[in-house]
């Protein structure tokens, strides 16, 4: 069975295609002072640059959820279910009976008890380019944290912020409680 697969090696490459976006330009006949024109131009370039960015990367998934547990991203709140993707900017919330566990792409594991609010503020995981960063914030509740590869490769790149202190990780397992 295994040998059969060895013979059948696919020849396709895993490269994805670059997506191009159109930018609509409008002609205007209204007189615009040069200064304003400059800023408009600057804004156009800025927005074109930010539009050209890739869609936000998935940095991890909800792997456990119980009771009231929610994930909010860009103002949209969804119930936390197993397999729900997480991105930078995702905010994780649990209610009085809720709990949730997530696993990030670098093998960092975090889980939360009830009445907890945590946000995923930064995540970079490109070991071959040395781009490594993990920054989360717990504003209330309880957090169980087991560090992953980022903390192993670059400990100073991992930080957990609380309203009254910052925790730097030197590769380990710890618990945080923040009383609101």
Partner 1 sequence: MRYASLRWLGLLCFATIASGCASKSYVVLLESPDGTTGAIVVQTSQGVTRIDKKHQGIALDSRSSQTFTVAQTRLDKDFSAAMSAQPILPKSYLLYFELGDTKLTADSEAKIPEVIQTIRDRGPSAVSVIGHTDTASGDVWNERLGLMRAQTIAKLLKANGLQAIELIVTSHGESNLLVKTPNETREPKNRRVEVTIR
120 binding partner 1? (CB under 8 A): no
The contacts of residue 157 (CB under 8 Å, 6+ apart) are 124, 132, 133, 134, 150, 151
Please report how close the Cβ of residue 60 comes to partner 1 at its closest, in angstroms.
8
CB of 33 to partner 1, least distance (A): 49
Which among 3-11, 19-27, 36-44, 48-56 is the span making contact with partner 1, rule CB under 8 A?
Answer: 3-11
Considering the rule CB under 8 A, would residue 102 count as an interface residue with partner 1?
yes
Q: For residues 108 and 76, is the Cβ–Cβ distance under 8 A?
A: no
- Calpha distance 136→90 (Å, rounded): 10
Q: Does 55 sit near partner 1 (CB under 8 A)?
A: no
Q: Is 78 helix (H, G, I), strand (E, B) or coil?
A: strand
From candidates 39, 48, 130, 173, binder to partner 1 by CB under 8 A: 173
- Nearer to partner 1 by Cβ, of 47 and 172: the residue is 172
- Our finding on whether 116 is near partner 1 (CB under 8 A) is yes
- For residues 27-36, one letter each, b for 16 or more C-beta atoms within 10 angstroms of the residue's C-beta and e for the rest, the string is eeeeeeeeee
Is beta strand 85-86 parallel, antiparallel or unpaired with respect to 117-126?
A: unpaired
Indicate the SS3 state at residue 95. Answer: coil
* Nearest alpha-carbon partner for 78 in 68, 170, 1, 88: 68
72 versus 161: smaller Cβ distance to partner 1: 161
User: Which of 2, 18 has the CB closer to partner 1?
Assistant: 2
Residue 52 Cβ vs partner 1, minimum distance, rounded to whole Å: 23
Q: Which spans of this chain sit near partner 1 (rule: CB under 8 A)?
A: 2, 5-6, 8-10, 13-14, 58, 60-61, 63-66, 82-83, 99-103, 105, 107, 109, 111-114, 116, 127-128, 142-144, 146-148, 162-179
């Amino acid at each position: 069975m295994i040998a059969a697969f060895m013979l059948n090696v696919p020849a396709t490459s895993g490269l994805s295609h670059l997506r191009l976006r159109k930018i609509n330009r409008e002609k205007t006949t209204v007189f615009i002072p040069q200064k304003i024109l400059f800023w408009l131009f600057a804004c156009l370039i800025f927005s074109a640059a930010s539009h050209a960015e890739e869609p936000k990367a998935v940095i991890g998934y909800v792997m456990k959820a119980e009771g009231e547990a929610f994930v909010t991203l860009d103002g949209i709140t969804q119930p936390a279910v197993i397999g729900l993707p997480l991105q930078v900017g995702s905010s994780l919330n649990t209610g009085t009976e809720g709990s949730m566990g997530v696993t990030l792409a670098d093998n960092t594991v975090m889980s939360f008890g009830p009445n907890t609010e945590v946000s995923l503020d930064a995540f970079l995981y490109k070991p071959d380019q040395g781009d490594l960063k993990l920054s989360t914030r717990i504003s209330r509740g309880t957090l169980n944290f087991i560090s992953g590869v980022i903390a192993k490769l670059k400990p100073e790149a991992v930080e957990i912020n609380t309203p009254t202190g910052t925790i730097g990780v030197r590769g380990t397992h710890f618990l945080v409680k923040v009383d609101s």
